């Protein structure tokens, strides 16, 4: 018996002896360190969003060194136009709302206090796959009292999910589902992939009947959608989503076919008809009605996107201009309701205007989240325009001189001339001449798809550079949009010129005018005048060539050879009459 005890005692001593820790695989340690570093860097750009009294809050993510923040509309709306933002450095920064997207649940805020804010690296949400690792960062339950965000790790559970509006207009399309813990307060915060790249904006969770506690089903707005809207949100506007102008349904063979279509829609003008099969929208194949809703939700209104469909003649390729989802003023009423609720938040302190250091950073105007930012974006465009202002002939539309562009039809000897003076805009193609007043009467020429709008566009191009955009009429910066045949996005500025609206697309980097569209209404094709620049042309840095389109059809290409001025001609009436 004693020997047994000794054996057991010896065994106990052996068990209690210090054990050497097993060596970990260097690859495991390397992966762990990479994960820790990715989370550290990503957390630096994560933002806590608070009311002015620091009560309540949500999350956001900084995406520009000068302090622009992406978050949810439902995070910013309770605080009105003013809030405070906390970052990982432990400091709070004053902020204002810039633009809002009530339908897609997005908002852009602007922080102040430094010009070197840490920023997130934008990822590619189209490359996200189920089973990949991800992590969310933010301020759940307002736990980040030291302003250091909470980070949770998980998997991508689903991609391209569609979430129907639930008693609200907030519609989540093409979103990413994750089991990374997302709780109240995480809303508006970032979802990162394993490398720390921003792939989504956390927004909606399955909380109903579960005590407001995360159960592993959270949804993030894809960063692709957020960045498509970002340029428009920086305009300070209340931005809208898009509608196609047609609906679809599945037929007995499972095909997605057009079930109804408006004859006023651009899709109808491009040839789509009832019963045609929709095959692709944008860069996505369509096999269900739900997929079409998903893809449509990532685009702002007025964007033009590729459409592939099949009719009796076979597969057709086209591009359609999207329409606004809401009627004018409809979103204003929704936002006003949200603002009134936000203004009644109990305990929220409103600083006196005299003590509000950011009072000048907010300007109320119907149709805008903050009109101040629309003026700021116009300032940016004006500076670009002034830095590239070409040497124009002396005089102009306001003096007793005519400005004249002389050229020819590309590849032909047919002469073309555009002239404008203080009273009229003139157009000449070979021996055919036409004129219109400078202050209107242009609509019928556009509706009849005449070439004279080239002259209207050239005069607008000239005035844009000679006088500056703000002197042209009622000017609003709309945002950023793609243009057929052009790389990347372009700035779009809308100019109301009486019965005609001009949309001017300019390069983000150079400020050069790339396209001017002249609309009479949204039910007919605009006159689209595209501008090309050739450094080797005698016209440089002015446009060397313009192309006129109606719809997707090129009607006329003109090569400019000379720009000069002439004395104003004394003529009676309007030569050329109506088109």
Q: Which residues are catalytic?
A: 74, 105, 187
The span from the CA of 269 to the CA of 262, in Å, is: 10
Please give the DSSP secondary-structure letter assigned to residue 241: B
- Asked if 73 and 85 touch (Cβ cutoff 8 Å), the reply is no
200 CB-near residues (< 8 Å, 6+ apart): 125, 175, 176, 190, 191, 220, 221, 222, 223, 226
The span from the CA of 302 to the CA of 319, in Å, is: 12
Burial of 468 (0-12, 13-18, 19+ CB in 10 A): middle
Residue 34 host element (H or E): helix 26-44
Rounded to an integer, what is the distance from CA 232 to the centroid of its chain? 4
The span from the CA of 167 to the CA of 372, in Å, is: 32
367 φψ region: left (φ > 0), alpha (ψ -120 to 50), beta (else):
left
- Of the candidates 405, 427, 337, the one whose C-alpha atom is nearest the C-alpha of residue 545 is 405
Phi, psi angle pair for 330, to nearest 5°: -65, -45
Q: Quick count: other Cβ atoms within 10 Å of Cβ 115?
A: 9
């Amino acid at each position: 018996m004693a020997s047994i005890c000794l054996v057991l005692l010896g065994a106990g001593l052996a068990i209690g002896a210090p054990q050497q820790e097993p060596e970990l695989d260097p690859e495991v340690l390397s992966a762990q360190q990479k994960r820790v570093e990715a989370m550290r860097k990503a957390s630096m750009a994560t933002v806590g969003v608070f009311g002015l009294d620091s009560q309540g809050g949500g999350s956001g993510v900084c995406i520009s060194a000068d302090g622009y923040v992406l978050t949810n509309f439902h995070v910013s709306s309770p605080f009105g136009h003013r809030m405070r933002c906390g970052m990982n450095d432990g400091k709070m920064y004053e902020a204002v709302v810039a633009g809002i997207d009530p339908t897609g649940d997005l908002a852009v805020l602007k922080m102040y206090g430094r010009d070197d804010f840490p920023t997130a690296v934008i990822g590619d949400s189209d490359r996200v796959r189920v089973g990949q690792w991800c992590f969310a960062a933010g301020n759940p339950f307002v736990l980040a009292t030291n302003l250091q965000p909470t980070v949770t790790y998980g998997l991508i559970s689903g991609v391209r999910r569609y979430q129907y509006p639930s008693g609200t207009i907030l519609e989540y399309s093409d979103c990413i589902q994750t089991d990374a813990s997302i709780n109240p307060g995480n809303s508006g915060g970032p979802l990162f992939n394993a490398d720390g790249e921003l792939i989504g904006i956390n927004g909606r969770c399955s909380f109903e009947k579960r005590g407001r506690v995360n159960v592993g089903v959270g949804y993030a707005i894809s960063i692709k959608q957020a960045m498509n809207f970002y340029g428009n949100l920086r305009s300070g506007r209340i931005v809208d989503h898009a509608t196609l102008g047609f609906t679809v349904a599945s037929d007995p063979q499972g095909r997605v076919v057009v079930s109804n279509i408006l004859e006023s829609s651009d899709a109808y003008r491009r040839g789509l008809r009832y019963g045609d099969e929709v095959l692709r929208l944008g860069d996505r194949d369509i096999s269900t009605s739900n997929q079409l809703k998903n893809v449509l939700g990532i685009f702002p209104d007025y964007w033009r996107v590729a459409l592939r469909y099949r009719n009796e003649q076979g597969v057709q390729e086209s591009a359609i201009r999207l329409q606004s989802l809401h009627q004018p003023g409809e979103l204003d009423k929704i936002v006003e309701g949200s603002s009134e609720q936000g203004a009644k938040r109990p305990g929220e302190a409103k600083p006196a205007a005299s003590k509000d250091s950011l009072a000048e950073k907010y300007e109320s105007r119907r149709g805008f989240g903050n009109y101040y930012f629309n003026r700021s974006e116009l300032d940016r465009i004006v500076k670009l325009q002034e830095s590239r202002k070409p040497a124009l002939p002396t005089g102009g539309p306001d003096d007793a001189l005519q400005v004249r562009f002389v050229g020819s039809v590309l590849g032909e000897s047919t002469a073309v001339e555009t002239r404008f003076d203080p009273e009229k805009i003139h157009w000449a193609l070979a021996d055919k001449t036409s004129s219109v007043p400078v202050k209107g009467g242009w609509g019928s020429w556009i509706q009849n798809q005449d070439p004279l709008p080239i002259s209207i566009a050239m005069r607008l191009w000239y005035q844009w550079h000679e006088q500056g955009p703000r002197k042209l009429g009622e000017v609003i910066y709309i945002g950023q949009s793609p243009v057929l045949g052009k790389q990347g996005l372009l700035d779009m500025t809308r100019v109301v010129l009486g019965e005609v609206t001009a949309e001017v697309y300019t390069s983000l980097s150079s400020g050069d005018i790339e396209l001017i569209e002249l609309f009479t209404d949204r039910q007919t094709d605009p006159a689209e005048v595209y501008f090309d620049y050739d450094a080797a042309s005698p016209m440089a840095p002015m446009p060397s060539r313009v192309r006129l389109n109606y719809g997707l059809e090129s009607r006329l290409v003109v090569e400019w050879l000379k720009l000069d001025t002439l004395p104003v001609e004394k003529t009676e009436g309007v030569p050329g009459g109506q088109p």
